[in-house]
Structure 1
Amino acid sequence: MHAILLWTINDFLVYGNISGWVTKGYMACPVCNKYIPSHKLRSKIGYLSHRYFLPHDHAWRKSKRFDGKVNYQPSPILLTGVDVMQQLSHLKNLDYGKHPNNKKRSRSAEELNWTKKSILFELPYWCKLRLRHSLDVIHIEKNICDNILGTLLNLEGKTKDTIKARLDLEDTKIRKELHLVKRNDGSYIILLTCYTMSNTKKKSFCKFLKGIKFLDGILPIGMRGILKKDVTAALMELGDFCHRIYRRTLIMDDIKKMCIDISLILCKLEMIFLPAFFDVMVHLVVYLPNEALLGGPMAYQWMYPIQRFLGSLKRFVRNKACPEGSIAEAYVVKECLTFCSMYLRGIETHFNMDE
């Protein structure tokens, strides 16, 4: 029997460990590579300018509302395995692991964000694969959900609408209606945004949130009458995009259309939320249609079934001093009970319910 490794599926931090690409800094996106769509903000690095992915003749290319500039830059070029190998050839010979000669050093411009050559490149076919590492969508979905809910509800430590975020607007000289107003005593007045909710609306919104996920297409309905139409419409389009890409059956033409749709959705969100909202996790959504095009439907790539199974194994632990033994013993008991229940007579189970 012969086995082949098609691609890996992991969260963003593990992505960096396996691929050898540092997922931090200005070039945190491994797909964009050296074609940097990031900008320096006061509190963080923002991944904006999703106009890169729009058609060259799109009207929003001329608009200065996004970052105060006209943007005709082409979209990032997706690198092949051969291109990656050429970049990795600039890495110097390093001793990995704990070694007395290992010291922190600054990477050269040719090394980009590469720190090592992945051991997977020892496979003769690895550099020929178009998709080598796939992003786990459950972590992307969670981070986007946290960003949106934290900003809408103005949760402390979660909201992206902060003083530094408002100062970012002054630095780029855009959206003057949201700039800070300075008082005589040196304090600032934070003006309301289109997504600002009163305490009454927050309470009614939280009641609707109870027991509902964000990206299941139901939550945006609860925003009607609470937020403005353009905010609700953009979030509903984002939820609809997730619904379409999570389908178990996808059509090639639909995936190509979703590549343009997600670019438009992110541009609409850029005109609503502040630049600090757009971290690298929000930016990675733009590449999900391409991964679905290469690796198949996202419903067969995400880690939801595995996470649920691991959660059930963790619940088997009764003795924390011997967790492996607890899991093994409980799993054997469960298998035995399942097997015996198939042959029970006079006792109704889901195996003999129809008898």
Structure 2
Amino acid sequence: MHIEKNICDNVLFSILGVAGKSKDNLNSRRDLELMGIREQYHLKRRESGTEYADPAEFEMNNKGKDIFFSALSGSRMPDGAASNIARRVRLHDRSIGGLKSHDNHILLQQLIPLFIRSSLPENVVQALIDLGSFFKQLCSMDNCAADLEKARAHIVLTLCELEKIFPPSFFDIMEHLPIHLADEALIAGAVIFRWMYPIERYLLTLKEYVRNRACPEASMAKGYLMEECMNFCTQYLNDVESKFNRPARKKNDDDINKGKDFVLEEITRTQAHRWILFHTEAVTPFLNEHLITIRRQFPAANEHYVQRVHFRKFANWFKEHVINLQRTSSVLLSEEVIALSNSPSPSTKRLTSYNANGFFFRVKSLDNHRSTQNSGVTLQADKNLSIDSSPYYGRLTDIIKISYGIDIKYVLFKCDWVNPATGIKLDHFNFPLVNFKRLLYKNDCIGDEPFILASQAHQVWYALDPSGQEWLNVVDMPSRDLSLVQTNNTEEAGISSESMDVEMDD
């Protein structure tokens, strides 16, 4: 944590050329002159005898600073991902200050590589992107030994590239310590279980226990003991809300369990029902059977035509097929299959926010009035759900809870999806860009697929591109729930946690 903070400060103040904090100063230029290297950076002398230094290639000019700070001040990250770094930016004097340790963590790994691409030369940008990628890999929750060994080999090359760019004074002990961090992670385990962030947060909790400033240690000990006693007692009070039984991050869950009743339109109902059928594990055998039937009916048709017919006719075929099986066959069908063969109830609930997969999602209409951004959604490839291999990016516009009878409920996200053919591209640094003026579905037609299951959604956030065009940068968000590493497999069917609990209780 502290290594990241020091490296981020050195990088940030050097590329901004902050007087007194930049590693590029007159003394460092004199060092280059004494060493006889990088003649372009040697000090120049005026006729009056004063010395001056030409700007280095890694230092932004005023136009580059304006682009960098404008993008930084306009960035809105998801709730809980970081503090509001935009408030630390002062556009009038092109400066930034008051950063905390976690701010440096976010800047080094995400924001600096994202927003310097139009402000610095390509070789400098690529080196800083590689530096941020190393720390991002190091702090990942799903690291494996092969990833860390690859990062260990790559950081050596990255530091060599930085030595070609920055002056020798840039490299104090902190800039050399990253070489050893991958080895440390291989021996001691994941960084997220060893860094100082939770300890420093708990130190704040201990400080709040102080009532008698003449005896702070005794106040902390007494406060800690009282809280432990209360926690022990509340575990025996099942009907009383406590920190052990209340929902996680309750302050953001106000809309999750309430919802507003409304009636589904026929088009929306058909779209949602079709997506549930095509992405529920219990229906998979019937999907395969219907495909075989279509191929037998149209032996000369190409695969595109077969899939199109399969897409249009499966819901009606599935309903009739289940009815026939119930009448003529001794095959026992599950309650879920029988319920899904019918259309969902037209009466449903509309939500404005929802927790899924360790992410907090909020519809875009609410995002427009917040300093955070929680409406970014991506649908990743999943071989179990037969989704196309290329990712889809969109914005969450609606959350509905569909019911099949009393016990079976599905939560679906309706999104504005960017057209993957014309609205998604990679820049020359392989950063994904999206354009929300190029949507996949512009008219609400019955054949559109705007819905996904809540269990399929992963969160991204969109940042302004430094070039100032209509394209937005896509930034992935890691899940905040460590328990989902083992429980995701139980949610493949897309049933909400609430409905799963109902089925288990029954």
Q: TM-score range by the shorter chain?
A: 0.5 to 0.7
Instruction: Supply the distance in 2 between the matched residues of 1:347 and 1:257 (Cα, whole angstroms).
Output: 47
Per-residue deviation, 1:303: 2.6
Letter aligned with residue 275 of structure 1? P
Instruction: Supply the distance in 1 between the matched residues of 2:212 and 2:226 (Cα, whole angstroms).
Output: 16
User: Does residue 292 of the first structure (1) align with residue 155 of the second (2)?
Assistant: no
The C-alpha deviation readout for 1:81-110, integer Å capped at 9, x for no partner, is xxxxxxxxxxxxxxxxxxxxxxxxxxxxxx
Letter aligned with residue 218 of structure 2? G
Partner of 1:70: none
Instruction: Supply the distance in 1 between the matched residues of 2:165 and 2:184 (Cα, whole angstroms).
Output: 27
1:224 corresponds, among 92, 117, 129, to: 117
Per-residue deviation, 1:263: 0.7
Partner of 1:144: 7
Per-residue deviation, 1:155: 2.4
Per-residue deviation, 1:146: 1.3
Instruction: Supply the distance in 2 between the matched residues of 1:352 and 1:180 (Cα, whole angstroms).
Output: 64
Instruction: Supply the distance in 1 between the matched residues of 2:205 and 2:246 (Cα, whole angstroms).
Output: 25
Partner of 1:157: 20
Per-residue deviation, 1:235: 0.9
Closer, same or farther in 2 for the Cα pair 1:154/1:320, shift >3 Å? farther
Unmatched segments (≥5 aa) in structure 1: 1-137
Letter aligned with residue 207 of structure 2? K
Instruction: Supply the distance in 1 between the matched residues of 2:67 and 2:234 (Cα, whole angstroms).
Output: 47
Closer, same or farther in 2 for the Cα pair 1:327/1:140, shift >3 Å? same
Contact persistence 1:317–1:326 (CA under 8 A)? yes
Instruction: Supply the distance in 2 between the matched residues of 1:346 and 1:273 (Cα, whole angstroms).
Output: 59
Instruction: Supply the distance in 1 between the matched residues of 2:238 and 2:193 (Cα, whole angstroms).
Output: 35
TM (norm. structure 2) is: 0.39
Partner of 1:266: 159
Partner of 2:175: 282
Secondary structure of the equivalent of 1:214?
helix
Per-residue deviation, 1:333: 4.1
Instruction: Supply the distance in 1 between the matched residues of 2:159 and 2:233 (Cα, whole angstroms).
Output: 54
Closer, same or farther in 2 for the Cα pair 1:306/1:196, shift >3 Å? same
Instruction: Supply the distance in 2 between the matched residues of 1:296 and 1:347 (Cα, whole angstroms).
Output: 35
**Paired residues for 1:183-202 under 5 Å:** 183-202=46-65
TM (norm. structure 1) is: 0.55
Partner of 1:56: none
Partner of 2:32: 169
Per-residue deviation, 1:338: 4.3
Closer, same or farther in 2 for the Cα pair 1:269/1:341, shift >3 Å? same
Instruction: Supply the distance in 2 between the matched residues of 1:329 and 1:275 (Cα, whole angstroms).
Output: 51
Per-residue deviation, 1:168: 1.4
2:128 corresponds, among 228, 235, 249, to: 235
RMSD: 2.7
Contact persistence 2:44–2:53 (CA under 8 A)? yes
Closer, same or farther in 2 for the Cα pair 1:257/1:344, shift >3 Å? closer
User: Does residue 334 of the first structure (1) align with residue 227 of the second (2)?
Assistant: yes
Worse-matched range after superposition: 180-189 or 201-210: 201-210
Work out the percentage of aligned pairs sharing the same amino acid.
39
**Paired residues for 1:86-97 under 5 Å:** none
Per-residue deviation, 1:254: 2.5
Instruction: Supply the distance in 2 between the matched residues of 1:254 and 1:347 (Cα, whole angstroms).
Output: 43
Contact persistence 1:160–1:276 (CA under 8 A)? yes
Worse-matched range after superposition: 259-268 or 192-201: 192-201
2:199 corresponds, among 306, 318, 331, to: 306
The C-alpha deviation readout for 1:177-209, integer Å capped at 9, x for no partner, is 111111111111210111222345435534517
**Paired residues for 1:311-330 under 5 Å:** 311-330=204-223
Instruction: Supply the distance in 1 between the matched residues of 2:144 and 2:123 (Cα, whole angstroms).
Output: 29
Contact persistence 2:234–2:242 (CA under 8 A)? no
Partner of 1:29: none
Secondary structure of the equivalent of 2:119?
coil
Q: What is the number of residues matched between the two proteins?
A: 218
Instruction: Supply the distance in 1 between the matched residues of 2:197 and 2:221 (Cα, whole angstroms).
Output: 22
Per-residue deviation, 1:228: 1.9
Secondary structure of the equivalent of 1:218?
helix
Partner of 2:448: none
Instruction: Supply the distance in 1 between the matched residues of 2:5 and 2:229 (Cα, whole angstroms).
Output: 37
Unmatched segments (≥5 aa) in structure 2: 74-83, 86-102, 248-497, 502-506
Higher relative contact order (CA 8 A, sep 6+): 1
Instruction: Supply the distance in 2 between the matched residues of 1:346 and 1:249 (Cα, whole angstroms).
Output: 36
Secondary structure of the equivalent of 1:244?
helix
Closer, same or farther in 2 for the Cα pair 1:180/1:287, shift >3 Å? same
Contact persistence 2:149–2:182 (CA under 8 A)? yes
Secondary structure of the equivalent of 1:217?
helix
Instruction: Supply the distance in 1 between the matched residues of 2:19 and 2:221 (Cα, whole angstroms).
Output: 42
Closer, same or farther in 2 for the Cα pair 1:346/1:284, shift >3 Å? closer
Partner of 1:351: 245
Instruction: Supply the distance in 2 between the matched residues of 1:348 and 1:331 (Cα, whole angstroms).
Output: 17
Instruction: Supply the distance in 1 between the matched residues of 2:226 and 2:67 (Cα, whole angstroms).
Output: 46
Contact persistence 1:167–1:179 (CA under 8 A)? yes
The C-alpha deviation readout for 1:204-232, integer Å capped at 9, x for no partner, is 53451762522332331011212222211
Contact persistence 1:248–1:300 (CA under 8 A)? no
Per-residue deviation, 1:332: 3.6
Worse-matched range after superposition: 265-274 or 309-318: 309-318
Per-residue deviation, 1:287: 1.2
**Paired residues for 1:17-36 under 5 Å:** none
Partner of 1:247: 140
If each structure's strand is expressed as a fraction of its own residues, which one has the higher value?
2
Partner of 2:305: none
Contact persistence 1:150–1:158 (CA under 8 A)? yes
Per-residue deviation, 1:328: 2.5
Worse-matched range after superposition: 291-300 or 230-239: 291-300
